[in-house]
Structure 1
Amino acid sequence: MYILFLFILFGAIAALMVSGVCQTLDNQIILWFENIRLPFINDVMLAVTDFGISALLVPIMLIFSVVLLVYKRYYSIMLLFLLYLTEKTINHELKGLFARERPAFDHLVNETYYSFPSGHSMNAATIYPFIAYLLVEMIPWLKERQKTVYLITGLCVFVIGISRMYIGVHYLTDVIAGFAIGLALFLLCKKIDEKLSGIRQK
């Protein structure tokens, strides 16, 4: 149900983006973030946004894979990297399909490829919830506090999305679309992992 809703949400956002209905709002949000910029906040947002880039995300995944090895969750390691590769491929293809140019405003970093959907937001919404889910499933102490774990993970993903707009490289619709597809992929992979866990226990 949630997966279907997220795909419908992505389709709706994509339709609004293509029609140009949300462009004025997208522009106003980017300009608002430009107006509130401060050197200290700039540094924080540039650091936060890096948690959605592959150069940092892949090492995090590799370190987490060691934890999965300790817990003998070999199939989860495979799923984690398969999820990442699938998400990256889908994001690249969607960007090529929609070919939306980056915001033509003052940006704090340079990005060379298309804008829709946001790759950083999609990375974060796919991988970090899956890591949080696996930690909750493996560690009893975290399972007892799973709502807190998911809340913190959600806030981190949200801030990464905000950072993309703050630094001027993505519109709001880019970020929401990235979240929608990313979360849908996470939920699909979570279902697969749950099925495999059930088979393994039998």
Structure 2
Amino acid sequence: MSPLFKAEGIVKRFGERVLFDAASLELETGNGYVLIGPNGSGKTTLLRVLAGLDSAQEGKLVYRAREAAAAGPYPEPWRREIVYAHQQPYLFRTSLADNVEYGLARRGMARERRAALAAEALAWAGLTARHGVPPHRLSGGEKQRAALARAKVLNPVLLLLDEPTANLDGEARAQVLELVRALITESHTVLIATHDPEIIRLAILTRLRVSAQRIEVAE
């Protein structure tokens, strides 16, 4: 069976600095992966290239056996199935419910249906009581849980998470970790860039390491 997603021969440079030199990876359907490596090694950049939010100078992306050049353009149908959650969640200055509904509204879903799905996602994230609260009044942990709910409600085939527990500690971190574990055990294919040892140690995740401008399977 072909992998769900492949990146082959990715070359990514910023001026004279080379982040990736002929880097490749494969992601299998329904599996969870964790991407590790030191700060500045290119983990976030790689996720952005895979999600079509950034381009590479060379290489190709293959999703469900369809190819696209990593230099772009990114196929629009892929954006409905590949969802990227930023390390620093960007939430609009409306209600929390509106934020979770946003992607569904852009897809043209009827208001009543998307409101119901958003309510389910907020309940999953433990944020039902905060549905009408503007984002600037949320804590860091609540914002991250909201971002995960907004990603989940889109029912992604491939979910890319960038440092979901960064800058969180105590109960806030534990709550986000619980949601991350839930996403991994669902039917999504998930790739998580992180330094969090608790995520890295999860036995259900395949560890991928950024090393020497390449990507390798870590022991």
Give your verdict on TM over 0.5: no
TM-score between the two structures when normalised by the length of structure 2: 0.24
In proportion to residue count, which structure has more strand? 2
